[in-house]
Structure 1
Amino acid sequence: MTESSGPVPPVSEGLLGAALLDAILPVFVTGSWDDGMPVLWVNPAFTESTGISTDDMNRRGIHPLLTLVEDDPDREPGQASLRAGKPTERMIRGQRANGAPTWWHVSMSPIPDGDGSVRMWLGAATDVSTYVQRHAAQLASLEFERRERADLDLVAQTSELLGDLEYPYALRDIADLLRALVPWAGFYLNDDGLMFADGVDVASPPSGRGRRHTRYVPESPVLAHQGDQLGDDAAGVRASVDQVQDLLDGVVDGPVLLELDGRFPAHSASGWLRRDLVRRIVEETGVIPRSVVVHGVAGRRRVLGLVASWHGAGTAVDGLVGPDPDEIPAEPQHVFTVIEVVARRAGTAIDNARLYAREHRLAEALQRAMLPEQAEVPGLDVWTYYAPNAEHAQVGGDWYDVLQITEGTVGLVVGDVVGHDVEAAAAMGQLRSVVRSYAFELATPGVVVDRVDQLVTGMRIPRSASMVYATLRHEPDGDVWAVQYTRAGHLPPLLLRDGTVTQLADAGGSLIGFGSKPRATARAELRRGDVLLFYTDGLIERRDRSLKVGLDALIETSARITARDAAGVGEELLSRLADAPEDDVALVVVRVPDPVVDAEVQPLSPRSRRWLLPSEPASIGRARHAVLRTCQAWGLPESASAELVVSELVANGVLHGWGNIALRLFDTGDGLRIEVEDSNPAPPVTTDGHPNRLGGFGMQIVERLADWGWRPAGSGKLVWAKLRPTGA
């Protein structure tokens, strides 16, 4: 850096004038504000940019610069600075010499006289059109990105709502989301005629043949008012085309614009939808709509319904001011695109939900026809449990039966068909029927399974299966039950006696239908206090261990069981081995009661019990026996009250529910809690009885003996009752 050789000489006025004259920026000089700021001088750059010289401006008169500036509603701050003689700068929109619009950044600086008064102003203008356009493009890009994000977020929220169509207001909430784009939107489903829908009835059949709309709704006073406002010509009948029915029939893909300022045939889909839309939109907004956009909600084979969206045009009603149709801008294309995407996703989701519901109902029908049965066996304590692992099918390939063959003979069977789907359930049902038929005809288990082999070979059942079949015969002395059994590729039953576990592993053989030689029959016996355990591999099978390790764990767990009732034995096994099973589980526990040992100190077993009962009258008796045995095992004194309460709750489930009935008992420490779950979501109701006929007092009995309530559970309900202490 070099030092200066001397003071900088002052710039002469002539040099400044020459600099302004040669400047590349448009520069101009005006008079004072009081004189109207006439343009006194402009440089060549100004003339080149605007096409206007000083002489041209002088001929234009006062404020010639205003001809270069379009309307500026925010000019007052700049004018206030000019009046006060203060420097100011403004962004203004003007025109170039060729008439092209442009943006200028104009700065005005006062030129004071010797006495301080401002008689002239120096102005400079910078063309910033490129920067303004770039900034506008950036803002437009950001706005487009924001809108795209908002649209994607709306579609994502819609998809989340469509994931749970059992929620009764799923479609209403989706329509509320769409109202961020349009003033009003709503769903209509075509289930036996169009109906406005807040939610989805998944019980309706999935898409098949289309349904014609035939529901009739008369004209409302609002529509008559609309006819008065729009004139007689607008209220004429438009019967030539039923646009909505064409959309429902798939004749057109949509969307269609439905004009609402006319009349349609009374039974047409367009006429019904017009009347319903006008009524709803008027109630919510106070405006009679003139037209709506209708999108089809398409399933796989037919259009399931409609999405109607009102975009704002209409006439005010009852003094309410609505939007002027002339002032409503054209709807952006993205709005129609988003509504179309939502309609398409809704159609797919509704169709899937109804398809799954139909499969579920089919599985439930199979299940009701093939539910495992358990006969009440005098002299034995029998507990059974079955839990399919299939979430939707609710029925798998495992099964059991407890059959009262003769007065002193009981048949026990546990089987497992490969898989846990509807096909496995169908194969299980066939096998179960065959086994039951031969069990009542033949006495020896090996012979029964031989006959099953022969019949299954001819039936060509597509799934392989294993099973254990046993008979228990009561010996004349009354203390011993003789056991005969045979195994067809199934895990061995277990015999529990005084803490010792014995595998009944004899009489083994190949899977059902693959027997090449006669089946063998093995023998054992049950004494007082003994437990016989039948099970399927779902009880012990896990991905992280072999089946042998699981069997060893079952034997070890069984040796430590302390419960003295069959249900307690089952609860201990399930709690320790099958808290989260990975496959279907079937379990049969048979115990010979021992009055002497059972009356001793109560064992430390789980204070909970569960049963899965078919929806049939015989389950009421089973439930009573179950609660009596449980109260005896736990030493609870409220057995009589518990028997009454459980009888009423299970009877309600049998009479008014469907599917399985789940019974659960809990010892809370201050009273017995009873829970009964069925598949009917309707809550129980206390009545004053049925006039002129018996019954109707069940819940009154429950109220007298217990505190009770209910809550939704799965697709049905759970009713609970907690017994009051004796004497309360």
Structure 2
Amino acid sequence: MAISPTADGEDGARGVTVPEGPPAHDSWPTVPEGAPPAWAEAVLATIGESVALVRWSPHERSPMEVLWVNDAAEGLTGYTRAELLTGGAAPLAGVIADDDVPMELRVQLREGNPGGTVVRLYRADGEGYWANVALTPYPTASDEVPWWVLVTRDVSGEVASAAEDRLRFEADERARLGLSVVLRVSGLLSELDGARVLGAITDLLTRRVVAWCGFFARGRGLYELDAITTRTEQAPRRLEDLPSCAISELFAGSSMRTVTLDPAVTYSPGSLSAELLDLVRPQLELHPDSPQQFTVLPVLGRRGALAVLVALARPARQHRPEPAGGAGILPSRPQPVVRGMAEQDVGTVLELVARRVGMAMENAQLYAREHSLAETLQLAMLPEQDDVGRLDVWSYYAPTSEHAQVGGDWYDVVNLSESTVAVVVGDVVGHDVEAAAAMGQLRSVVRAYAAEFIDPGTVLERVDRLVSSMRVPRSASLVYATLTPRDDGSWDVAYHRAGHLPALLVRDGQVTSLSDAGGTLIGFSSRPRQTGFVRVDPGDVLIFYTDGLVERRDRPMREGVTALEEVCSHIHAPDAAGVGEEILQLADAPEDDIALVVVRVPGQRPGTSPPGSSPRQRRWQLPPDPATIGRARRAVARACEAWGIAEAPAAELVTSELTANAVMHGWGRVGLQLQDTGDGLRIEVEDANPAPPVPREHMAGRVGGFGIHIVDRLADWGWRPTPSGKVVWARLRRGAGTEIGSRPAPGRPSA
């Protein structure tokens, strides 16, 4: 029941005694029925906020009854005092007046504690505003229905400011999210190799930006890219041969723009749009809540589009609707910010990602083309060794440059005829690209004259004349020798050294320096060059080398040559590869290119017996041609004979199969390494193809592909990646090969 106070502040009907001044809080008069005293009303009238005295029980679903209001309530709501006293508390408290109280606030009020919330209210003219409603218990003598002081304050400005702050925060959050995605993409492009980076980028975009995305390029047909350096073996179709469509225009253009690929549209058969839609259509079934259309952007290089980025957007964000009428409660707790990006932000991020991937893709493919070109040129200039059946020849080459496979040093072992073998070891000053170019020129000249003339002195005279006219930018030294067999098993050696370190002849522990027939550097001789001669017998060893083997900054060249002679005087290895392994102990930290050729005449001198104390490991560098398979077999057979290994036939067979795989399916030079581990023979074959070996299933009519199955029956095997390709290894079992074909194939172990 609403009651208005009398003018003098007394309520005679109820007998309320009004004190002259405001008493202490604990001595306030209890008001069983009625309004505040006159002095309290006078104080409340001066307050600029709406204040009302209401009766309402939070324990029951009862309406809120207004007992008294101040003047500010009329100004806030637009209702008169009489309308507020008779119409209820809806204009002052909103849904609280209808007993629709949030649970947390209801619990607080039931315990008799002050509480409040922010609600949506409407003035008498229908204008809405946000109000802060606060309820404070008012002491009364009766506990039947509690009385409350209701304070209502207009906070529309604060709510609007908070909403603007939230929008700005969300915009900043979206901008930070987009920037973090772009920065992370840039990091992935610099951190990961080309084979993994696109998968990492699509995973990142799918987690943070879109529902799905992928990169597609053109070959004979569109295909999904899995690496930025992917090379297709199929020639791309010309765009003029394709039906005109939006996707073909993206590939033909050189500017960034966005195309929509809509499954509801019928594209021309055979067009890139139709082909691309067929590839990505399954994603629509996997993401039914997403917009049923794709966004396509070009992945641009410097000269045009290299690929396209296709993305499927996430479902649209659901915004909380604002109350359209009546009252609505603004949650007292801050709402979590939705972590997502607006449509325009998504488009910007995708465009930036496409641009960065395009530049990285073009750089990677340009590097791959340049690397392939450099590799082809370097392979053409790498030292070569012909298969010399009547001599045991071992060669080794190692450039000091980390970025090139070839420097200024080189060797050649060439069959000049059926009976004559030529050996050339040379050194161009420097070990850079210019030195390699000069080496290639000089090597070609020497090979040309060696095919025409046999005598080493005559060959180098012709080389002098031509090189002086060619103006080769680097000076060079070399030693050139020819070996011709005699009927008694020995060989005649003719040689000349042009400013080069002398070759060494090792015989029965005695080292002889072949220092006769010496001359100036190539291109600087004005006198006829002489030819020196020496005879080598079975068991003798010739060693040709460059200064990288013996030269060090901390010792003179003469001391290095003396150290080499000392090592050679204690060599008794029965094969050229064993001799080379012992010599290479001097080259533990080379400071220059190394070229080394060891020639051993098969057999041994009467009365000598090799003690077999050479290192139990061998290595060979072999060219990628079919003749390498036979050379590898013979090399392994000689090593097994030197070590007394009974499983030589099985070792030859395993080596043959691994080397054949490297020659047929690998890239670049073939590295062969053999090691006696004490419990078995370990064979390693290295090539530049990183793809692992894959055993084929036994199928009738299939040719080839069974080499790994043969290896599997004779050895434990596996493979491991290397920075330049892979190594396939096999560990031959003791007794392997004695029961080939009768023992079941064991399981292949992991590498």
Using the alignment, how far apart are the partners of 1:530 and 1:310 within structure 2?
75
CA gap 1:163/1:283 in 2 versus in 1, 3 angstroms: farther
Cα deviations across residues 287-320 of structure 1 (Å, max 9, x unaligned)?
A: 7964221110112222111011111479xxxxxx
1:187 to 193, 215, 221: 215
Q: 2:139 aligns with which of 97, 109, 112?
A: 112
CA shift in 2, pair 1:393/1:482, >3 Å: closer
* 1:122 equivalent among 146, 149, 155: 149
Q: Mapping of 1:214-229 within 5 angstroms? A: none
Q: CA deviation at 1:197?
A: 2.9
2:368 maps to which of 357, 374, 396: 357
CA distance in 2, matches of 1:552, 1:283: 77
Separation in structure 1 between the aligned mates of residue 635 and residue 251 of structure 2, nearest angstrom: 55
Q: SS in structure 2 opposite 1:293?
A: strand
What is the CA–CA distance in structure 1 between the aligned matches of 2:628 and 2:577, rounded to whole Å?
Answer: 16
Of 46, 65, 76, which aligns to 1:22? 46
User: 2 CA distance for matches of 1:205 and 1:459?
Assistant: 41
**1:333 correspondence with 2:360:** no
- Structure 2 residue aligned with 1:317: none
* TM-score normalized by the length of structure 1: 0.77
Give the match for residue 450 of structure 1: 461
The offset of 1:433, in angstroms, is: 1.9
Q: Deviations over 1:639-669 (max 9, x none)?
A: 2332233234333443454532221111121
Are 2:210 and 1:203 aligned?
no
- SS of the equivalent of 1:595 reads coil
Change over 3 Å in CA distance of 1:725–1:584 after alignment to 2: same
Q: 2:611 maps to which residue? A: 601
Aligned to 2:563: 556
Aligned to 2:553: 546
Structure 1 unaligned residues grouped into runs of 5+: 1-7, 216-238, 315-321
| Contact kept in structure 2, 1:193 and 1:213, CA below 8 Å | no
Deviates more, 1:659-668 or 1:635-644: 635-644
Question: Which structure 2 residue ranges, 5 or more long, are not aligned?
Answer: 1-21, 29-36, 320-337, 740-751
- CA 1:271–1:706 in structure 2 vs 1: closer, same or farther (change >3 Å)? closer
Q: Which whole-Å CA distance do the structure 1 matches of 2:122 and 2:474 have between them? A: 86
> What are the Cα deviations for residues 533-557 of structure 1, in whole angstroms up to 9, with x where unaligned?
434455567xxx6385688567536
Q: TM-score, normalised by structure 2?
A: 0.75
Deviations 1:434-486 (A, max 9, x none): 11111233344344333223223444555654433334456787567646231
Shift of 1:77: 3.2
In the other structure, the counterpart of 2:302 is 300
Shift of 1:398: 3.5
Q: Show CA shifts across 1:401-450 (max 9, x none).
A: 01233566532222345676777655433322211111233344344333
| Residue identity in the other structure for 2:273 | S
On the 8 A contact 2:92/2:152 being kept in 1, the answer is: no
| Alignment correspondent of 1:274 | 277
Give the distance between the partners of 2:709 and 2:149, measured in 1 at CA.
98
Does the Cα contact within 8 Å between 1:507 and 1:522 map onto a contact in 2? yes
Instruction: Check conservation: 1:528, 1:593, Cα contact below 8 A.
Output: yes
Matched, 1:614 2:617: no
Shift, 1:195, TM fit: 1.9
For the 8 Å contact 2:445–2:463, the answer to whether it is kept is yes
- Which residues of 2 match residues 277-676 of structure 1 at below 5 A? 277-278=280-281, 280-286=282-288, 290-312=292-314, 331-377=342-388, 380-388=391-399, 394-405=405-416, 409-417=420-428, 425=436, 427-461=438-472, 465-472=476-483, 482=493, 484-488=495-499, 490=500, 493=503, 512-513=522-523, 515=525, 531-536=541-546, 539=549, 546=553, 548=555, 552=559, 556=563, 559-560=566-567, 562=571, 564=573, 565-574=575-584, 577-578=587-588, 584-592=593-601, 595=604, 599-603=609-613, 605=615, 607-676=616-685
Structure 2 CA distance for aligned equivalents of residues 59 and 714 of structure 1:
89
CA 1:356/1:512 → structure 2, altered by over 3 Å: closer, same or farther? Answer: farther
**CA distance 1:644–1:179, shift in 2 (3 Å):** closer
Change (3 A) 1:485 1:275: same
Summarize the alignment of residues 710-725 of structure 1 with structure 2, pairs less than 5 Å apart: 710=719, 717-725=726-734
Equivalent residue for 2:747?
none
Q: How far, CA to CA, are the matches of 2:497 and 2:98 in structure 1? A: 101
> CA 1:289 to 1:125, structure 2 compared with 1: closer, same or farther past 3 Å?
closer
Q: Rg bigger for which structure? A: 2
Shift of 1:347: 1.8
Opposite residue 277 of structure 2, the aligned amino acid is R
Whole-angstrom CA distance in 1 between matches of 2:481 and 2:314: 76
Contact (CA 8 Å) 1:202, 1:357: kept in 2 or not?
Answer: no
